[in-house]
Chain A
Amino acid sequence: MVRFHLRLCNGGSARQYEQVWKSGPLRAASSGPKREPAVRPCVPRWLKPERETSQRSAKAPLFHGAARLLAAVLIAFTSFVNPSAAQVTPDRLIHSAKEPHNWLTYSGDYSGRRYSLLDQINTVNARTLTAKWVYQTAATGKLETTPLVVDGIMYATAQDDRAFALDARTGRPIWMYQRELPSDIRPCCGRVNRGLAMLGDKVFVGTLDAHVIALDAKTGNVIWDVIAADYQKGYSFTVALLAVKNLIVIGVSGGEYGIRGFIDAYDASTGKRKWRFYTVPGPGEPGHDSWEGDSWKVGGAPAWNTGTYDPATDQIFWPTGNPSPSNRGEGRAGDNLYSNSLLALNADTGKLNWYFQFTRHDEHDWDATQVPILIDSGGKSLIAQANRNGFFYVLDRTTGKLLFANPYGKITWSDSKDADGRPVAKKDASPTLEGHTVCPGALGTTNFMAPTYDPQTNLFYVTARDQCDIFSTAPQPYEAGHAYYGSAYFPSEDAEPYRGFLKAIDPVTGEIKWKFEHTSPTWSGVLSTAGGLVFTGDAEGNFIAMDAASGRVLWHFQMGGAVYAAPMAFAVDGREYVAIAAGSAIYAFGLP
């Protein structure tokens, strides 16, 4: 297989780039103290461990105060960090709160809360936000990437397995990689990619032809390339990977092709696979009897969205998707474990500690792949997920026990709960040959769009839609590498117009505190920041800043392309930026 990557910057090499960087303008923060330009470690020595341990969302006020101070000092400080020295260590990932100017993982930190500690942009000045730069990826289709920023360099991906590094101050490219993909790849839902992971001096990408690759962070050169699965059987990767310790964790896509889902962990240095957890148990394994006959072999349960990690218990929480065929339960009687579940896996071994299945024996394509967010509240270690099936679930993340499940959108599929409080499907919710209307529709109340949790407001923000569909079965034989839906869905003829919202949910009670209704449903994720803001995008191309407490719109900008990605925040040279992908470009915004 031939691969190529382009070097930009006038064809310059990494060495030239470093020179350019070092001689480039170093602007001190306008409000921050001047320091002499010198190469320094990323974390100042005076940073006391007490501060680290105090950084728990349960102690929001203290956390906030300390974080503000830290952020201010660190923003000023980062002007002089030598980017070439950057090595993203596992320790940096665990203590990402110490470097709020960086965005080190898909969700910003291991808890998955997509919350930035930066507060330079805040409710007072958000109305003055302005576009700082735009980077055109030239990719077509849906741009779903969340960029990473590490010490002044932005790393991001785009469709058809592009990856690139940009000067985060200007959007100018440093290198670009584009994979030469075979013509017969099998992405279910667009040739998309949601982002990458960084560890050491490498960035990691999962590819549409089901490889995991490591690229040199300075050049984009391929360091290693391993085959995870056979793309011709419907396996692919679209997920942003998660770096944990020295491992790169990734979940597979392909729930529309009758794959057998898995979550893998690779040694970041060598690409050697360290463990694999099959999300559909094989013969003799617990859960295997939740599948009828041989249906497990093509049982789906992909794992195509990024999980979270709790260093305190060394557990990875990874959500899984629909059983195959997605909308036809006939032939796969049983709960179909571990489809549509949250899995708690031991980070070192990939062994299952506990699981919680949101939708048993799913027949509506309600993947449970939404990012599960770790929340510490009232002395409890919780994990919360706004599920595609329309319920907001909060679990004890130590035990996997459900605390409550509340609807946060229009649902008709369930009107009762079992003894554990889990919503139970109504008998007549199943698709029929003639078609049967069920809410939410196949796209779900939410989908892959990343939610956010703001420890200041103690609210969980999620993009939601109210939409119902007619679900109709369409029996279809399994054929390796061919779409295996077993179903079809249609807009209901007398359907209400679909409605789209941003909803702010209290994760303690499940109550919706406020909602903002969009003109039409959006696929944008959400970011919250210590500046008291939430940021989101809309289907018509607007990027919007709202007051996190009330949902009041403070600022908006028309980007000219629909949003399928989630925002993130970073700082360089003492200036905070908020970035998001829209249309085929990445936009960065900041104060004038």
Chain B
Amino acid sequence: MRTATVLLLLLTGTVGTAQNPLANDPKAAKAGEYEFRINCALCHGLGARGGGRGPDLTRAQKRFARTDAEMFQVISNGIPGTAMPANGTNGQGVGMTDEEIWQIITYIRSVEVKAPARPLGNAAHGKELFYGDANCSLCHMVAGKGGRFGPDLSSVGGSRTREAIIDSVRHPSHRLAWGLTEATKEFPQEYETIMVVTANGKEIKGVALDEDNFTVQMMDQNDQIHLLEKDQLRSFKKSRESMMPKYTSDLLSDKDLEDIVSFLVSVGAK
């Protein structure tokens, strides 16, 4: 999947150079705002600031589409290998007209943070912390290196706002799973905390990899996978209290956290 997205990046870099006929038209931006709410906001959030699974589009530096023409392509054709559907293929009928797509692009440009996304921190130091003293890599992987217990953070810098990443570090349980609704349930892993006692009295605590009405697939803190049938357990409890430690500013200073975010953005926004 990652190969596919990299390929797509290369491809989208070469798409046409069509101009937005509605560029900077405030009326088009307003119409685009409503179109955005109806067609895009479920994933990209109200105000385009990122949502359950769609990246923050107010970020000037976009991963898949930099020019208006590239944006038009992405909205029209979707991004294979990601949750971004092609216009008109999400089961919601015929999709938007070209004009409506240009309106949306005009709207996105109007809410974009104008300055280029300049990392606020020191990415190199952030990387050191990530793999070192901050212990992030004990549970999280970036680009194939790190732990398995928590979510892979390779692309999080491109798909979440800086504020959302900071919030997740400071308050891991605040939005434990980004997928509260089917529409955003992209991964079965919701990282809910599972605590079970097996029939022979063994206690296991870990994160859910998957769960249905009768079984649970979970990983414990030693990266051990447990495949369990609920009716064979002595007890089964789950909690939305994350197993990730809460990184208060005593544990991790604002500056160090900013450096880590910069590292994630430098990797994820590539």
- Where the two chains meet, the residues of A that have a C-beta atom closer than 8 Å to any C-beta of B are 141, 184-191, 234, 256-257, 435, 467, 470, 472, 474-476, 481-483, 485, 487-491, 493, 495, 497-498, 518-521, 538-542, 544, 553, 556, 558
Interface SS of chain A: loop
Given contacts A472-B37, A483-B38, A519-B213, A189 and B180 within 8 Å (CB-CB): no
* Cα–Cα distance between A541 and B213 once the two chains are bound (Å): 10
**Sample of 22 A–B contacts (CB below 8 Å):** A185-B93, A187-B91, A188-B91, A189-B91, A257-B93, A474-B34, A474-B38, A476-B34, A476-B38, A482-B94, A483-B94, A487-B38, A488-B41, A490-B42, A491-B52, A491-B183, A491-B184, A493-B175, A520-B182, A540-B212, A542-B213, A553-B214
Give min CB distance, B15 to chain A, whole Å: 23
Docked-complex contact B94 and A485, CB < 8 angstroms: no
* Cα–Cα distance between A325 and B110 once the two chains are bound (Å): 27
* Cα–Cα distance between A185 and B91 once the two chains are bound (Å): 10
Contacts of B42 in A (CB 8 A): 488-490
Docked-complex contact B181 and A519, CB < 8 angstroms: no
- The 10 A-B residue pairs whose C-beta atoms are closest, nearest first, are A540-B212, A488-B37, A474-B34, A190-B91, A474-B37, A186-B93, A491-B181, A491-B180, A488-B38, A519-B213
* Cα–Cα distance between A475 and B198 once the two chains are bound (Å): 55
B146-182 interface bits toward A, Cβ cutoff 8 Å, 1 = contact, 0 = none:
0000000000000000000000000000010100111
In-complex Cβ contact of A483 among B33, B93, B177 (8 A):
B93
B92-140 CB contacts (< 8 Å) to partner A: 92-94, 97
Interface SS of chain B: loop
Docked-complex contact B212 and A558, CB < 8 angstroms: yes
* Cα–Cα distance between A482 and B229 once the two chains are bound (Å): 48
Docked-complex contact B94 and A184, CB < 8 angstroms: yes
Given contacts A488-B42, A491-B52, 9 further A-B contacts (CB under 8 A): A184-B94, A188-B92, A190-B91, A435-B46, A481-B94, A483-B92, A519-B212, A553-B213, A558-B214
B208-227 interface bits toward A, Cβ cutoff 8 Å, 1 = contact, 0 = none:
00011110000000000000
Contacts of B45 in A (CB 8 A): 490
* Cα–Cα distance between A483 and B235 once the two chains are bound (Å): 49
Given contacts A474-B38, A497-B180, A188 and B213 within 8 Å (CB-CB): no
Contacts of B91 in A (CB 8 A): 141, 187-191
- Where the two chains meet, the residues of B that have a C-beta atom closer than 8 Å to any C-beta of A are 33-35, 37-38, 41-42, 45-46, 51-52, 91-94, 97, 175, 177, 180-185, 211-214, 240
Q: Which of B38, B91, B92 has the most CB of A within 10 A?
A: B38
* Cα–Cα distance between A261 and B93 once the two chains are bound (Å): 17
Query: Which residue of A is nearest B215, CB measured?
Result: A558
Docked-complex contact A495 and B212, CB < 8 angstroms: no
Query: Which residue of A is nearest B230, CB measured?
Result: A519
* Cα–Cα distance between A219 and B214 once the two chains are bound (Å): 42
* Cα–Cα distance between A188 and B37 once the two chains are bound (Å): 17
Query: Which residue of A is nearest B176, CB measured?
Result: A497
Contacts of A556 in B (CB 8 A): 213-214
Contacts of B214 in A (CB 8 A): 542, 553, 556, 558
Query: Which residue of A is nearest B51, CB measured?
Result: A490
Docked-complex contact A498 and B211, CB < 8 angstroms: no
* Cα–Cα distance between A493 and B183 once the two chains are bound (Å): 14
Contacts of A544 in B (CB 8 A): 213
Query: Which residue of B is nearest A562, CB measured?
Result: B182
Give min CB distance, A524 to chain B, whole Å: 11
Given contacts A474-B38, A488-B38, A186 and B94 within 8 Å (CB-CB): yes
Docked-complex contact A541 and B52, CB < 8 angstroms: no
Contacts of B52 in A (CB 8 A): 491
Give min CB distance, B240 to chain A, whole Å: 7
* Cα–Cα distance between A190 and B89 once the two chains are bound (Å): 9
Contacts of A256 in B (CB 8 A): 92-93
Contacts of A495 in B (CB 8 A): 180
Give min CB distance, B177 to chain A, whole Å: 8
Contacts of B184 in A (CB 8 A): 491
Contacts of A485 in B (CB 8 A): 38
Query: Which residue of A is nearest B178, CB measured?
Result: A491
* Cα–Cα distance between A421 and B40 once the two chains are bound (Å): 39
Query: Which residue of A is nearest B30, CB measured?
Result: A475
Give min CB distance, B62 to chain A, whole Å: 22
Docked-complex contact A518 and B34, CB < 8 angstroms: no
Give min CB distance, B98 to chain A, whole Å: 13
* Cα–Cα distance between A558 and B94 once the two chains are bound (Å): 35
Given contacts A186-B93, A187-B93, A542 and B212 within 8 Å (CB-CB): yes
Query: Which residue of B is nearest A477, CB measured?
Result: B31
Query: Which residue of B is nearest A479, CB measured?
Result: B97
Contacts of A542 in B (CB 8 A): 212-214
Given contacts A482-B94, A498-B180, A490 and B41 within 8 Å (CB-CB): yes
Give min CB distance, B108 to chain A, whole Å: 16
Contacts of A493 in B (CB 8 A): 175
* Cα–Cα distance between A488 and B35 once the two chains are bound (Å): 9
Q: Which of A234, A495, A519 has the most CB of B within 10 A?
A: A519
Contacts of B211 in A (CB 8 A): 519, 540
Contacts of A470 in B (CB 8 A): 46
Query: Which residue of B is nearest A475, CB measured?
Result: B34
Query: Which residue of A is nearest B211, CB measured?
Result: A519
* Cα–Cα distance between A187 and B180 once the two chains are bound (Å): 26
In-complex Cβ contact of B181 among A184, A467, A488, A558 (8 A):
A467
Docked-complex contact A490 and B46, CB < 8 angstroms: yes
* Cα–Cα distance between A435 and B92 once the two chains are bound (Å): 22
Give min CB distance, A550 to chain B, whole Å: 16
Contacts of B181 in A (CB 8 A): 467, 491, 498
Contacts of B97 in A (CB 8 A): 482
* Cα–Cα distance between A493 and B92 once the two chains are bound (Å): 24
Contacts of B183 in A (CB 8 A): 491
Give min CB distance, B188 to chain A, whole Å: 9
Give min CB distance, B161 to chain A, whole Å: 13
* Cα–Cα distance between A187 and B93 once the two chains are bound (Å): 5
Give min CB distance, B159 to chain A, whole Å: 17
Contacts of A191 in B (CB 8 A): 91
* Cα–Cα distance between A102 and B2 once the two chains are bound (Å): 51
Contacts of B46 in A (CB 8 A): 435, 470, 472, 490
Given contacts A474-B34, A497-B180, A498-B180, A538 and B94 within 8 Å (CB-CB): no
Query: Which residue of A is nearest B93, CB measured?
Result: A186
